[in-house]
Amino acid sequence: MGAKERLVVVGNGMASLRFLEQLTERAPGRFDVTVVGAEPVAAYNRVLLSSLLGGEVDEAACGFRGLDWYAGHGIRLITGAPVTAIDRENGLVVVGETHVLPFDRLVLAVGSLPIRLPLPGADLPGVVTFRDFADVAAIRAAAVEHAKAIVIGGGLLGLEAAVGLARLGVDCTLLHVMDRVMERQLDHTAARLVTAAMEARGVKMLLSANTACIEGDGTVERLVLKDGTVLPADLVVMSVGIRPSTALAQACGLAIGRGITVDDRMTTSDPRIFALGECAEHRGIAYGLVEPAYEQAEVLSRHLVGEEAAYLGTSLATSLKVSGLPVFSAGVVDTPDGADAITVHDAAAGLYRKLTIIDGRLAGAVFVGDISEQARCKEMIRSGAPLTLDDRDDLMFGRRQPQALAA
């Protein structure tokens, strides 16, 4: 047996770690693995950032694997080290002035960057994003008593940030440019329930709110809306979305679209180089969720050990809790004309369930408050199997005995 192939993984986020776990489980010791992460700590659970912000968990509780796990599996882990260049011709990864790492195969799991709105005043101190441990630390530092915080962005992360801030006792207002929160996942009714839940948790919600500028003398003092409303603020958290990190790939000439273009085996335009997670674009889609990243990690690990594996995309499903309120969304969100909708709506109980049915097949599901049968919904959307009458009832109310309301 000759020298091991050298595998370098750039990025140590959730996609990266899952890939490493799958790979080492399938083929322990097969590759000489080096992982380079830009953040100073090993991969942690980004989904818990809002809990961390709200003080419900500490950083340690967010971690997945200790350094001993990497060592024990023969993985060299380099943290706090942003990769600066990739030399494809020579098969090298350059980490600033400190490391040059030769590779036979290269996996890019560099994630995404939070979008900063190009607003006047967006660069003032006190304007932060909400993406990593460092952001959380900055927010917590600003969230002193009587502080006023504004979160821009009514997507999942923005909602989570706002709830975390409210839990800290901060006077928190959430601004969203659309007329409903999470518009890509929720229809109006579901969004209203989530909005009500946010308000119940102490967050002021402003919808259809367009920010004109952020103002302050040396630090954030206020935010001005396009309608002229002035909102005092000591802290502005921008959570308006993410952009796949493509700079490194672009610089070395890999094909990119919105993200780094990959095929069904997560292979980039260079057959030795692979990409997965939020930085990758598969069949035109750059996912921003953990579930497709994990599916991609499995496919890539199998591919690298020589198994037949192909990633065919993840059906667009979101299953999460907005500050404890379970929410599920898959497929079509807004029921188109001519489609059937089955709905259950009990606003006072915080319950909403909608199935959208097109041509007798499940096309979408939006659940709030009780997300039971979500797995089956996803499967039926994916398979496109015709729905029986029993299916309609079972998906709506559970098979046989309905399940208790999830909290």
- Positions touching another protein (CB under 8 A) are 340-349, 351, 357, 389, 392-393, 396-397, 401-402, 404-405
Write the burial class of residue 263 (CB in 10 Å: 0-12 exposed, 13-18 middle, 19+ buried).
Answer: middle
Query: C-beta of 335: minimal distance to another protein in Å?
Result: 11
Nearer residue to another protein within complex by CB, 3 or 348: 348
**Phi, psi (rounded to 5 degrees) for 27:** -140, 75
Write the burial class of residue 47 (CB in 10 Å: 0-12 exposed, 13-18 middle, 19+ buried).
Answer: middle
**3 state SS of 93:** strand
Distance from CA of residue 184 to its chain's centroid?
13
**Phi, psi (rounded to 5 degrees) for 6:** -95, 125
- Using CA atoms, how far apart are residues 108 and 267, in angstroms rounded to an integer? 10
Tokens of 188: 């109006």
Nearer residue to another protein within complex by CB, 305 or 341: 341
- Using CA atoms, how far apart are residues 303 and 221, in angstroms rounded to an integer? 52
Nearer residue to another protein within complex by CB, 241 or 398: 398
Tokens of 320: 């999460």
For the beta sheet containing 204-206, the strands, ordered from the edge strand earlier in sequence to the opposite edge, are 127-129, 235-238, 148-152, 171-175, 204-206
User: Which residue in 127, 99, 116 sits closest to 10, CA to CA?
Assistant: 99
Nearer residue to another protein within complex by CB, 313 or 402: 402
Query: C-beta of 327: minimal distance to another protein in Å?
Result: 18
For the beta sheet containing 85-87, the strands, ordered from the edge strand earlier in sequence to the opposite edge, are 85-87, 92-95, 99-102
Query: C-beta of 365: minimal distance to another protein in Å?
Result: 14
Nearer residue to another protein within complex by CB, 260 or 325: 325
Query: C-beta of 204: minimal distance to another protein in Å?
Result: 23
Question: Which residues neighbour 321 within 8 Å (Cβ) at sequence distance 6 or greater?
Answer: 327
Place of tokens 């399938």: 26
Nearer residue to another protein within complex by CB, 104 or 340: 340
Q: Please, what is the Cα angle at 239 between 113 and 322, to 5 degrees?
A: 115
Question: Which residues neighbour 334 within 8 Å (Cβ) at sequence distance 6 or greater?
Answer: 187
Query: C-beta of 352: minimal distance to another protein in Å?
Result: 10
In this structure, the dihedral spanned by the alpha carbons of residues 292, 295, 300 and 301, taken in order and rounded to 10 degrees, is 140
Query: C-beta of 216: minimal distance to another protein in Å?
Result: 43
Query: C-beta of 262: minimal distance to another protein in Å?
Result: 40
Nearer residue to another protein within complex by CB, 127 or 357: 357
Query: C-beta of 363: minimal distance to another protein in Å?
Result: 13
Nearer residue to another protein within complex by CB, 150 or 381: 381
Query: C-beta of 64: minimal distance to another protein in Å?
Result: 36
Nearer residue to another protein within complex by CB, 268 or 356: 356
Query: C-beta of 401: minimal distance to another protein in Å?
Result: 7
- Using CA atoms, how far apart are residues 51 and 60, in angstroms rounded to an integer? 12
Nearer residue to another protein within complex by CB, 357 or 366: 357
- Using CA atoms, how far apart are residues 344 and 322, in angstroms rounded to an integer? 20
